[in-house]
Amino acid sequence: MKTGMNDMRRLMRLFRPYRIWVVGGIALGCVVILANVALLALSGWFIAGMALAGLGPQSISYFAPAALIRGLAILRTGARYGERLVTHEATLRFLAELRVWFYERLEPLGPAAMDSWRGGDLLARIRSDIDSLDNFYLRILAPVINALICSIVIVAGLALYDGRVAALDLVALLLAVLVIPLMVQKFAASAGRGLTEIRSALDSAATDTTRGLGELFVLGAFERQRARVLELGERLIAAQRRQMWVGAIGRALSGLVGNLAMWGALVLVIPLVAAGDMPGPQLAMLALWVLASFEAVAPLPMAFAAFGETAAAARRIFEIADATPAVRAPDAAIAKVPACFDLTLTDVSMRYRPESDWALQDFSLSLAEGESVGLVGESGAGKSTLLALVQRFREFQSGEITIGGVDLREISEATLRQTISVVAQRTHLFNASIRDNLLLAKPDASDDELHHALKLAGLEDEISNFPDGLDTLVGEVGTRLSGGQARRVAIARAFLRDARILLLDEPTEGLDADSEARVLEALGKLMQGKTTLLVSHWPRALAFVGRVEKVGHEPLHESRS
């Protein structure tokens, strides 16, 4: 609960830029509630007054009250419309900004973030957790503040007529504001937490299922996975049902308290009217006033029911926002730009966790600008780790890596990305056109440049034969392209970027001889004049580099020159 409140305070701070919208929405909400209470109380007084006038000798002027009733009805409707507009505008603006805020914090975590969070879980945080934060203002903050302000005004107004009725309403409202919502909160908190966790597990399972559909079918595990997803779906529905039940019971209890308070008011006021100490129409007015006052607190049980889910969602968002990035980019003021592109690693050691074995130990390697080196080593020797270190996706514990004599840690993220291109075994292609996938590497490239890059990558003819050419959609993770074609799209991207250092991670792995030959031909052109590190097991690929080094736990020794 304490962390929940802290997270809520933090959320409130994020709302600061929209405070005008927030305050405006709350003010309009108060107008709606107070106009409604006034409308009901006045109508009660007016109808009772008219009825009594019909029965007895006294007359009643109905113009002013009738006009006031109409005015209040229009005010209530207009304010309700405005309130919905303003509160939703505030929420949507906030959510849009929150997504950007979240991405800005997620990005520096880099690929290392995937060690701690699964892809589906991250997706759930970005999508459903952020979405469920719309509860915060619409269903929690605004109703609670409205309830507080309006309850005070309503009870103070009642006190002008009758202190005992005001006291009764105050007690009943406190019951509805504090006791019932707290009871609801107690039951809803666990349901809310469960809801967020199950939703995330379901998102992860659904993402895994779609990604691994092929493997699931081949291994005959589809039915088991399907049953798991269905089970999570049912648990999600059960948790949602529980949360709704708790909220609904709270609402019903608060309605019951409201009705009992109205009856209580009648019991208190009837003797006064009977004794002639209070005009008759005030009986109906006060009773309806008390009944209407519960409109102010009616949304609170739902607000408290939503608290658990919203607090859990906020916790999950802040957990990522507060995570320490695996690497720190240097301050712009001290960032340096390498003047040339030789690459040196000196006694570099890295382990993924303090308690783990070294993934790379005392590794040294030196490449002159334009030189190409092949890296070999048994599985788990640390070759991919080494490439990750050069790309600055991970921090290393000791040693030094320099580009053009500049410590890697002093090079800005932007400069580093411009300096290094990567072609890997797994090329991520987005479910978009070939053009869009290429433009990622150079957003302002003309069609001529794209065609030239494809030509250099040996893909131009095949793309021209597609009916839609550059506009051909590559399908989910590039499924409409062959493995070799996807690899050559990555090479075309590298041609477009024209970075001076090239990292090739098993670029021919899994290709047949024909595809391998085409990829290698393209790579041969790409490597021209570039400082290149090539990780590969394949002699045909290694034939393209100047020398080969072995990566292993023992200190470096040269295996072939």
Q: Is residue 332 a contact partner of residue 342, using CB atoms and an 8 Å limit?
A: no
- Cα 494 to the center of its chain, rounded Å: 31
Smaller CB separation from ligand ATP, 168 or 359: 359
Segments in 440-505 forming alpha helices (H): 447-456, 460-465, 483-497
Distance CA 291, CA 173 (A): 10
Smaller CB separation from ligand ATP, 169 or 505: 505
Shortest Cβ 505–ligand ATP spacing (Å):
8
β-sheet bridge partners, residue 560: 548
Q: How far, CA to CA in Å, does 418 sit from each of 414, 425, 481, 529, 534?
A: 6, 21, 27, 16, 19
Q: How far, CA to CA in Å, does 513 sit from each of 70, 182, 365, 538, 545?
A: 84, 69, 31, 11, 19
Shortest Cβ 392–ligand ATP spacing (Å):
15
| Euclidean distance between the first and the last CA atom of the chain, given in angstroms as a whole number | 65
Smaller CB separation from ligand ATP, 382 or 483: 382
Shortest Cβ 388–ligand ATP spacing (Å):
7
Sheet holding 420-424, edge to edge: 420-424, 501-505, 531-535, 372-376, 547-550, 558-560
Residue with tokens 């410590």, as numbered in its chain: 407
Smaller CB separation from ligand ATP, 496 or 548: 548
Q: Is residue 41 a contact partner of residue 285, using CB atoms and an 8 Å limit?
A: yes
Q: Is residue 89 a contact partner of residue 370, using CB atoms and an 8 Å limit?
A: no
Residue with tokens 């309605």, as numbered in its chain: 255
Smaller CB separation from ligand ATP, 243 or 384: 384
Shortest Cβ 131–ligand ATP spacing (Å):
30
Distance CA 192, CA 1 (A): 12
Smaller CB separation from ligand ATP, 11 or 381: 381
Smaller CB separation from ligand ATP, 168 or 320: 320
Give the pairing type, strands 547-550 and 372-376: parallel
Shortest Cβ 532–ligand ATP spacing (Å):
17
Distance CA 535, CA 116 (A): 26
Shortest Cβ 130–ligand ATP spacing (Å):
27
- Cα 416 to the center of its chain, rounded Å: 28
Q: Is residue 396 a contact partner of residue 360, using CB atoms and an 8 Å limit?
A: yes
Which token pair is 423?
């072609």
Shortest Cβ 550–ligand ATP spacing (Å):
11
Shortest Cβ 375–ligand ATP spacing (Å):
8
Residues that bind ligand ATP (CB under 6 A): 115, 352, 359, 377, 379-385
Which token pair is 26?
């709350």
Shortest Cβ 338–ligand ATP spacing (Å):
25
Q: Is residue 425 a contact partner of residue 510, using CB atoms and an 8 Å limit?
A: yes
Shortest Cβ 560–ligand ATP spacing (Å):
18
Smaller CB separation from ligand ATP, 139 or 394: 394
- Where residue 362 falls (left for φ over 0; alpha for ψ -120 to 50; beta otherwise) is left
Smaller CB separation from ligand ATP, 380 or 475: 380
Smaller CB separation from ligand ATP, 352 or 538: 352
Smaller CB separation from ligand ATP, 383 or 488: 383
Distance CA 301, CA 140 (A): 10
Shortest Cβ 363–ligand ATP spacing (Å):
11
CB atoms within 10 A of CB 392: 21
Shortest Cβ 85–ligand ATP spacing (Å):
48
Smaller CB separation from ligand ATP, 383 or 451: 383
H helix count then E strand count, the chain: 21, 10
- Where residue 348 falls (left for φ over 0; alpha for ψ -120 to 50; beta otherwise) is beta
What's the CA angle centered on 493, arms 478 and 514, to 5 degrees? Answer: 65
Closest CA to 284 of 266, 271, 267, 259: 266
Shortest Cβ 398–ligand ATP spacing (Å):
16
Smaller CB separation from ligand ATP, 194 or 382: 382
